[in-house]
Structures are given as structure tokens and as C-alpha cells.
Amino acid sequence: VAEPLRKTTEIEVRYAETDQMGIVHHSVYVVWFEVARAALSRETGHSYAEIEGLGYYLVVTGARIRYLRGARYGECVAVTAWLDRVGSRGLTFAYEVRRGAETLATGTTEHVWVDKSTRQPCRLPRELCDRFRRIGGLAD
């Protein structure tokens, strides 16, 4: 079995992302996950913006985050995303946020595909689904 594609995005901490503890607010990691998820999804050959244009929303149904160390302003973090599960109706992404060799946070997000016009859960067209299977390391 092939390994899922791991895509790393470098993100510079924004001042606005810090809180009065002097570290990045914990809600921001969910936004960083989304940035990394979009970069990984682009590896299908379609950006997430294009997929929405085709009529599909990738709705978030669950999220888990484990916070190990706080990121700070002035730092650049590396957010790696990969597919943990690829189904015809949804996906699970996994993430790791690192600062150099240190892991700052890990997490997963669960998603279902929703038809933009009906707002109901749906299956992706086979061809598009296969592209996600491929970056997920699954045979066609």
C-alpha cells in the first residue's frame, strides 16, 4: 500500500493571531489546518475553489486538536496535511504543526461532501473521488 501524500505549508505567525498569553490563540490552528488542507487538495489537480465551482462543498463535521507547545509571533510554522481516510461521501485529514524539529500541535478534521445547490450530503463524481484516493495513497 502506498503512503498518503504529505503536503507541508509554511505559515508565518501573524500578530493578530496572538493572544494576551503571548502565544497563538488555539482557535487559529483550525484555520492553519484549513490552509494546509487546501494546499494538499490542490495536489488533486483542482484547487478547493475550483471544486466549489464544480458544485461541491467540503463541510467540516468534526475536528480534534492536541496542543503541545504554543507558536509565537516572529516564528514560521510548518503545517503538514495528509489524507487519513478517503470515502465516496467524505474525507478525514490529519495534520501536524511543527516549528523546526518540535511538534507544536497535531489534529484531524472530518468532512462530508455536500451538494451546493441542494445543501444535502452527496457523493463526488468518480473521477474527482479517484484523485483524492490517489493523494490518499489508495489504489484506484
Residue 97 CB, nearest approach to a copy of itself (Å): 14
Q: Does 118 bind a copy of itself (CB under 8 A)?
A: no
Cα-trace Rg, the chain: 16
Q: Does 21 bind a copy of itself (CB under 8 A)?
A: yes
Q: Please tell me the distance from the alpha carbon of residue 57 to that of residue 133, in angstroms, as a whole number.
A: 18
Q: Please tell me the distance from the alpha carbon of residue 33 to that of residue 129, in angstroms, as a whole number.
A: 21
Answer whether 113's CB lies under 8 Å from 57's CB: yes
The 28-67 contact track toward a copy of itself, x by CB under 8 A, reads: x-xx--xx--x--------xxxx-x----x-xxxxxxxxx
Q: Does 15 bind a copy of itself (CB under 8 A)?
A: yes
Q: Is 115 a catalytic residue?
A: no
Q: Please tell me the distance from the alpha carbon of residue 124 to that of residue 86, in angstroms, as a whole number.
A: 11
Q: Please tell me the distance from the alpha carbon of residue 55 to that of residue 113, in angstroms, as a whole number.
A: 10
For a copy of itself, the binding residues (CB under 8 A) are: 12, 14-16, 18-23, 25-28, 30-31, 34-35, 38, 47-50, 52, 57, 59-68, 70, 72-74
Active site residues: 19
